[in-house]
Structure 1
């Protein structure tokens, strides 16, 4: 294993249902971007581009394609599966695997963006769902003061490496890693994108660096650069992107609003966004903050926050029209 992160693309199957919370949406005028605070010096140190070489480009073999769906339920969930990251009291690995399986079998999710997941747990769920299900996994890297980067491991040996993943009920293709600035000393998170073949949409799973995440430069903030990279990589319409962005929605009560670029909430709408000016959304974290997001250029029909009782994050589910 080099300092390059590794991506695994696995094949497997599942079923689906629906979520609740239907709302209608008006037209969307463009809004001016708000920005607060000055820029501060950042250097490009450990970038996701530097570890992108390990990402597998696509599956080489596909099972027969299913008809493209006319609607799709997408979920994002931070599993809090890395026990040493203040997750010891959030449930056992078995409980988290049952909760993830339930997002598919009970909530109807056919595309799930995962953060703080363990490779072994994701693989076990994928196998249990069947051969029509696929995963792409990327490990977190811990970078020390010498620049040496090593994968972060989950507590139990069978769980393997900790990372972020895409779980899909359709084949995944064209996997790419999005370059973005990362802490010089600390955890390298990242952005992983793929094309979901049957509905023909581009999807990106992101886990951004929280504030003060660089041990060498605790005053530096990387979220503005990471959000800009995320928003710039997606097409305007047939896309779904999000994950654990580690920031509250933009607005007068959020002093970190300046990190949000143009695009989110304007060119693409957020799961819970009910108007052009709305930035509200139900909390998704035990702290009472909204940290988890799903943005899309497709028509949204449903948005649900669901406590799975297996993490300090709730799952966010969004239904979109793809046909």
Structure 2
């Protein structure tokens, strides 16, 4: 009897081995990122100039949910530190996710915070800033000051390390290239800033995603100065930019002013990854268009 029972158990085990479905392979891990220069601080030509904190937060949250790519990481430039809490609340309300928000206030030439102009009711909005917001992830933030012209605002890289994904995301807003900023022959500050941005984004054992408003036109665009275009070339060699099409190192324009349009905003991901890019239409809110990346590692 025991022998018969043993044979039945073995037969059942064999049947399970044949009929049980094979394990389903998980898809490639993905990360969705958005970058946007909100133009909220001191530029009176933009619709978000002097917008209150609630409006700033809600506007960004709307862009984080109304496009085909819904980011879990958001890079902002020309935001205002006084709107950080409003941004966190608006993102949570619209996405149902928990967000960590970190900002860095740009210092002026005197070392004091470079202030956003007050809102339309005269209330202070804090300092002009770069921002990193991350959803539903254990995250560590780090700030790395960049070499900047001492006569204008300081610049920095703001990085988020996501240990659960083994991903490092860094955002920045580089010197502008205007006459009162990095306009010297050879674009010396932006050249060094790009080099240091790439160095801070690269961490052993982690995949790097970085970008923001780099204030440099692409190498093959013909826009801006040749020196500035050369400054961004190393990033194109070491990474793939989400909006690059074909062999030309360029992409759709992301910025418009009285001088015309050009690409100034970027999102770079490692070579060998699958990337999808989306670019929102320009609106009167800002002189920059939000740029989105979905990367599959």
Counterpart in 2 of 1:219?
184
Counterpart in 2 of 1:304?
278
Counterpart in 1 of 2:220?
251
Counterpart in 2 of 1:114?
76
SS in 1 for 2:79: strand
Counterpart in 2 of 1:315?
290
Deviation at 1:284, TM superposition (A): 0.5
The 5 Å alignment of 1:181-200 reads: 181-200=147-166
SS in 2 for 1:286: strand
Deviations, residues 280-307 of structure 1 (Å, cap 9, x unaligned): 2111012311110000116233111103
The 5 Å alignment of 1:51-90 reads: 70-82=29-41, 84-90=42-48
Paired with 2:128 and 2:155, the residues of 1 have a C-alpha distance of: 10
Deviation at 1:252, TM superposition (A): 6.7
Deviation at 1:171, TM superposition (A): 3.3
Counterpart in 2 of 1:204?
170
Point out the more displaced range, 278-287 or 234-243.
234-243
Deviation at 1:111, TM superposition (A): 0.7
The reply to whether residue 97 of structure 1 matches residue 57 of structure 2 is: yes
In structure 2, runs of 5+ residues without a counterpart are: 1-26
RMSD over aligned CA atoms reads 2.7
Q: 1 or 2 for the larger relative contact order (CA 8 Å, sep ≥6)?
A: 1
Deviation at 1:262, TM superposition (A): 5.3
1:163 equivalent among 117, 120, 129: 129
Deviation at 1:162, TM superposition (A): 1.6
Whether the 8 Å contact between 1:103 and 1:109 is mirrored in structure 2 is no
Paired with 2:28 and 2:162, the residues of 1 have a C-alpha distance of: 11
The 5 Å alignment of 1:17-28 reads: none
Deviations, residues 181-200 of structure 1 (Å, cap 9, x unaligned): 11111111221112124422
Higher helix share: 2
Q: What's the TM-score, normalizing by structure 2?
A: 0.74
SS in 2 for 1:151: coil
Kindly tell me the number of residue pairs found equivalent between the two proteins.
Answer: 249
Greater radius of gyration (CA): 2
Counterpart in 1 of 2:106?
140
Counterpart in 2 of 1:176?
142
Deviations, residues 209-253 of structure 1 (Å, cap 9, x unaligned): 0114556x8536311110111122222871110000011101272
Deviations, residues 143-172 of structure 1 (Å, cap 9, x unaligned): 1xxxx3100222233522220010111335
In structure 1, runs of 5+ residues without a counterpart are: 1-67
1:228 equivalent among 185, 188, 195: 195
Whether the 8 Å contact between 1:69 and 1:199 is mirrored in structure 2 is no
Whether the 8 Å contact between 1:271 and 1:300 is mirrored in structure 2 is no
Paired with 2:154 and 2:223, the residues of 1 have a C-alpha distance of: 25
Deviation at 1:273, TM superposition (A): 1.6
